[in-house]
Amino acid sequence: MTRRRVLFLCQANSARSLMGEALLRHLAGDAYVAFSAGSEPDRPHELTLAALEAQGIVTQDLASQSLDDFAGQHFDAVIVLCDKARQACRDWCGSADERLYWDIRDPRLIDRPDAYAQALQEIRRRLDLWLASRRHDTRP
């Protein structure tokens, strides 16, 4: 069985897209290879890492990368998590069988102690639904 390649995108690759990458590895790592990138990459936010670790999700190999690092690559799915990354995706020199847009609020811009945990919960909810729909997919 070929592992499906999924790329998560957001602006800074410091919160939402890293959460998506880590969650997919945690939930379905044997069937998927997960990556993440940002249109304007920064570095992993400490509250992102803390929210993931609080859920028992491994953060050891998470690193912020640029969308440009994935130019020319093909993915089974690209999941875009914000408007700025959606704009950048239009000019991206890569390809995907499926492009999804999940508008997840940037927890860095929310002044609440649970902002990162809530973003993680929302991404997990959508990822669970997406993975459930893939179980019925008969592609090799």
CATH number for position 18: 3.40.50.2300
Tokens 């992993």 sit at which residue?
Answer: 44
Tokens of 54: 């609080």
Tokens of 124: 């997990």
Q: Output DSSP code: residue 58.
A: -
**Contact between 46 and 108 (Cβ < 8 Å):** no
Return the pLDDT at 40. Answer: 87
Domain contains 32? yes
User: Average pLDDT of 21-35?
Assistant: 93
Range of the domain at 16: 4-134
Domain contains 36? yes
Query: For residue range 49-96, what is the model confidence (pLDDT) as tens digits?
Result: 999 999 999 999 999 999 889 989 999 999 998 876 666 666 666 788
Q: Output DSSP code: residue 70.
A: G
Domain contains 80? yes
Return the pLDDT at 116. Answer: 97
Number of domains the chain contains:
1
Domain contains 98? yes
Domain contains 117? yes
135 pLDDT above the threshold of 70? yes
Return the pLDDT at 89. Answer: 61
Q: For the chain, report the end-to-end CA distance as a whole number of angstroms.
A: 7
Domain contains 22? yes
**pTM, to two decimals:** 0.91
Domain contains 99? yes
